[in-house]
Amino acid sequence: MSAGAGPAHPLLDRVDESAVMAALADMVAIQSVNPFDEEASPGHREQEMADYLCDRMEALGMAVERRDIAAGRPNVCGRLAGSGAGPSFMLAGHMDTVGVEGYDDAFVPRVEDGKLYGRGACDMKAALAAYLEVVRVLHESGTELVGDLMIGAVADEEHTMIGSKDWVPNWPRADAGLIGEPTELAICPAHKGQTCMLIRTFGKAVHSSMPELGENAIVRMARVIAAFDDYGDELKTREAHPLCGHGRFSPGVIQGGTISSAVPDFCELEVDRRMVPGETEDQIIAEYRARLDRLAETDPGFRYEIAGPTIGVGPLDIAPDDGLVQALARACEQVTGAPPPITAFPGGTDAPNMGFPCVICGPGALAQAHTVNEFVETRQLADAARIYLLAALALTGTA
């Protein structure tokens, strides 16, 4: 641990780096690849990760709830009860990982040069291991909390977020929360949202030897793409969010036609729109329609459809001066000896779905996530556990 600001809390010395590393190694070895649109099966589901977490949390004195969101795909929640006189705080995160194509020995954890390697090492089983270490220290030290401390582990963050979307109607909420996605221990109280939509164009199919008798849906989609060519530049002229900056737009997937000897009567384009806090899905659809309707004015046969969203992740926007952010900043500074960066997280997270204020802060670098050489620095792993411990004490009203 680096020299921090002010006197160190006595419980920090109880954090055992080897214990956190052992828990992380256990979890890396558990295959919990997201099945995406396929049927969940062993190795491609969260069930085994949930088994491990439930066993560990129960052994550490937590009351545990578990519920399948889909077959083999549970959410779990552990609660270390306080006296009831203080606020509750949740350490939350996802159990699934992305796939491992081209990744040799992805589920064989290894430690080398101060790094622990393996799929999920930083995204985000490192944080889950740090959460367990926080509870171990509190449990074994006999610390009596004032408010409740919870660990929430969800399914399917890497795809459609069915786990966190199930949280509000079915699971306990906290007064504040933290999600340990990899930020290299920077504090991220904001991130953009993501909405992916399908734009469809229609035509009239005929034999390609007589294209003048048909209407080509792909040609019409080319006009759509051209009509959106300056949309990204327009977004950059709008007022920027202080942390997230400007919205973004990108065409991502296009499909149309069936055989080359037929004029296609259908084409579909999937577009990705990154929303800054304050923007809404309805607003974005209206912006799409305005551009598409202008095309229809110059082409009486132009027909289109907007469908989706195929992906919908809300933006996150917690003020930097919020008490949750400041408590985490003080914990980071005490552990690392320097004020942490406070910035926006580049990607989307489960945080907006949880139903209570959440901030992103975790060990590991996002640049390592989803690669075929994923790792987390063991120093950051131990520091994360210390930061989370101090934050838990402060945010449950115990410290």
270-317 per-position pLDDT tens digit: 999 999 999 999 999 999 999 999 999 999 899 999 999 999 999 999
- DSSP annotation of 386 reads H
Closest CA to 305 of 380, 217, 185: 217
CB 186 within 8 A of CB 238: no
Place of tokens 């690392």: 336
| 184 and 211 in a common domain | no
| 48 and 179 in a common domain | yes
Q: Does 5 fall in a domain?
A: no
Place of tokens 């969010």: 241
Q: Does 165 fall in a domain?
A: yes
| 20 and 111 in a common domain | yes
Task: Encode pLDDT of 109-146 as tens digits.
Answer: 999 999 999 999 999 999 999 999 999 999 999 999 99
Question: Can you give the residue range of the structural domain that contains 136?
Answer: 10-191+315-395
Instruction: Give yes or no for residue 393 having a pLDDT over 90.
Output: yes
Instruction: Give yes or no for residue 5 having a pLDDT over 80.
Output: no
| 48 and 15 in a common domain | yes
Backbone region of residue 245 per phi and psi (left: phi > 0; alpha: psi in -120 to 50; beta: other values): left
Separation CA 207–CA 261 (nearest Å): 6
Q: Mutual orientation of helices 323-336 and 378-395 as an angle, nearest 10°?
A: 140
Task: Encode pLDDT of 58-101 as tens digits.
Answer: 999 999 999 999 999 999 999 999 999 999 999 999 999 999 99
| 44 and 32 in a common domain | yes
Q: Does 93 fall in a domain?
A: yes
| 229 and 102 in a common domain | no
Question: Residue 158 CB: number of other CB atoms within 10 A?
Answer: 18
Separation CA 169–CA 173 (nearest Å): 10
CATH number at residue 294: 3.30.70.360
pLDDT of residue 7: 67
Separation CA 399–CA 397 (nearest Å): 6
Q: Does 178 fall in a domain?
A: yes
CB 350 within 8 A of CB 112: no
Of 282, 313, 344, the residue at which a domain comes to its end is 313
| 139 and 85 in a common domain | yes
**In sequence order, what are the beta bridge partners of 312?**
195
Q: Does 112 fall in a domain?
A: yes
Closest CA to 30 of 58, 56, 62: 56
Instruction: Give yes or no for residue 200 having a pLDDT over 60.
Output: yes
Place of tokens 């509750």: 88
Helix (H) or strand (E) holding 223: helix 217-227
Q: Does 1 fall in a domain?
A: no
| 266 and 171 in a common domain | no
pLDDT of residue 8: 81
Distance of CA 9 to the CA centre of its chain: 31
| 25 and 160 in a common domain | yes
Q: Does 2 fall in a domain?
A: no
Of 291, 313, 335, the residue at which a domain comes to its end is 313
The tokens for 34 are 């997201």
Instruction: Give yes or no for residue 168 having a pLDDT over 90.
Output: yes
Question: For the stretch 63-95, what's the b/e string if a residue is b when 16 or more beta carbons lie within 10 angstroms of its beta carbon?
Answer: ebbeeebbebbbbbbbbbebeeebebbbbbbbb
Q: Does 4 fall in a domain?
A: no
Separation CA 118–CA 2 (nearest Å): 26
| 299 and 150 in a common domain | no
Strands ordered across the beta sheet of 115-117: 110-112, 115-117, 375-377
CB 197 within 8 A of CB 306: yes
Distance of CA 191 to the CA centre of its chain: 10
pLDDT of residue 6: 54
Q: What mean pLDDT is reported for the chain?
A: 96
Separation CA 331–CA 185 (nearest Å): 11
CATH number at residue 18: 3.40.630.10
| 186 and 202 in a common domain | no
Number of domains comprising the chain: 2
The amino acid at residue 58 is: E
Percentage with pLDDT > 70 across the chain: 98
Instruction: Give yes or no for residue 379 having a pLDDT over 90.
Output: yes
Separation CA 55–CA 254 (nearest Å): 45
Instruction: Give yes or no for residue 4 having a pLDDT over 80.
Output: no
Of 313, 348, 381, the residue at which a domain comes to its end is 313
pLDDT class of 1 with cuts at 50, 70, 90:
very low
CB 203 within 8 A of CB 265: yes
Helix (H) or strand (E) holding 366: none
- DSSP annotation of 44 reads B
> In the chain, where do the E strands start and end?
63-70, 73-80, 89-94, 110-112, 115-117, 149-154, 176-179, 187-191, 193-202, 248-256, 266-275, 304-313, 316-317, 342-345, 358-360, 375-377
| 330 and 302 in a common domain | no
